[in-house]
Structure 1
């Protein structure tokens, strides 16, 4: 597909463990058009997070091709992949991964500074205000609730204006109300920035907010459907 921002072709992933080789993903072929949202669902251990890691260049495919924004990730070095992620992707995990000794503003601004943005703190402030944390700029993670910490993580992921936003169970550590607020922000900010969104979730109702839903079972893509079965 000519408009694909993400294209996987015949991808397999195997990892070596203490008990020998473990086959995680099998013959994955997937295209994601630019500016769309894709929900990845399936039971625990089905390979959802591993697929997200491959798309983000955080894991290397054992075979097949992984093309993102026209670049073959399987041919890139670790350093090149790190730069590519920094410049093109935002990642939100279930765990917030904030730096405890930095304020909310510093947590969001630091990646921007490392990427060479001179307006790092202005952009960080604007993004924190966009997620409703303009009053928490100088607070440290330990001074914030789980929902607030995930908002900081979301602001950090979106501040560089990434072309692709990867979210791995972003509401997994939050209660229902906070989780719903984060999802609303995730989709709203993704739409505002025009980012392509890949969302890993166990929740069918969340996945069904995406343009397309793909179910994984035992490391394989089931027959894909636009929406998941209730």
Structure 2
């Protein structure tokens, strides 16, 4: 999907602080960043740099403690939990490193669930279509425990893509996979992004995955250390 000048994400001096037994911990210390619609951005940096926390803020799964955060034209800091859930359901797909599939549901049911919650009439037909797109049509009736790690991540990708989100967020999507499965998931992730025309922001330690993005943003100690076209970032 071609990029446009209209931003999908706008962050101005975004801060995220947690209160712990040892006092305040500053996770993000003033992040200012814009992501264009249709752009693919990789968030990289050492462990503890704030990458996953930033992704969770973008998904409305955590709340910023300072600054301004707009996603797809909506101010997430002004929304309550119910409004955030509705917004996320209608506009975002999220893929986690640890899959987060519902163990008592089949692959098909896992993919169909967010569609049913959104009131999609053909939820199971669309879920079957998305499973076929990730090569799992024959595994639709299997439960997560009956699937390999690579297959479970494919189900998670299908579930994220099924609502046809405008924004796709992925947190270390290849982190729990071997090299071959990781490469397959990379191909599927970017293929789904192209098919649905979504903006993609992903957290990764995998150089190969970061290099496939339009731009890489490097974080360190809760701040942006640098941003560059992917192949110039390493």
Mapped to 1, the partners of 2:229 and 2:58 lie a distance apart of 20
Partners of 1:90 and 1:134 in 2: how far apart? 21
Gaps of 5+ in 1: none
Q: Secondary structure at the match of 1:224?
A: strand
- Aligned match of 1:131 in 130, 134, 141? 134
Give the CA deviation at 1:150.
Answer: 0.4
Match of 1:44 among 43, 47, 61: 47
1:56-95 maps to which residues of 2 (within 5 A)? Answer: 56-95=59-98
SS at match of 2:67: strand
* DSSP-derived class of the 2:102 partner: coil
Matches within 5 A, 1:1-230: 3-227=6-230, 228-230=232-234
Computed over aligned residues only, the root mean square deviation of the Cα atoms, in angstroms, reads 1.0
Q: Aligned partners of 1:147 and 1:77: how far apart in 2? A: 35
Report the Cα distance in structure 1 between the residues aligned to 2:178 and 2:87, rounded to whole angstroms.
Answer: 33
Partners of 2:160 and 2:210 lie apart in 1 by 20
Contact 2:40 2:200 in 1 (8 A): yes
C-alpha displacement at 1:9, in angstroms?
Answer: 0.5
- Secondary structure of the residue aligned to 1:109 is helix
Distance 1:225 1:32 in 2: 13
- What is the TM-score with the length of structure 1 in the denominator? 0.98
Query: Residue 229 of structure 1: CA displacement?
Result: 3.5
CA deviation after TM superposition for structure 1 residue 27, in Å: 1.3
Per-residue deviation, 1:68: 0.5
TM-score after normalising by structure 2: 0.96
User: Compared with structure 1, are the counterparts of its residues 2 and 181 closer, same or farther at alpha carbon in structure 2 (3 Å cutoff)?
Assistant: closer
Aligned mates of 1:6, 1:184 — CA distance in 2: 24
Residue 8 of structure 2 aligns to a residue whose secondary structure is strand
Paired residues in the alignment total 230
Aligned-residue offset at 1:66 = 0.4
Match of 2:15, SS?
strand
How far off is 1:223 after superposition? 2.4
Q: CA deviation at 1:2?
A: 5.3
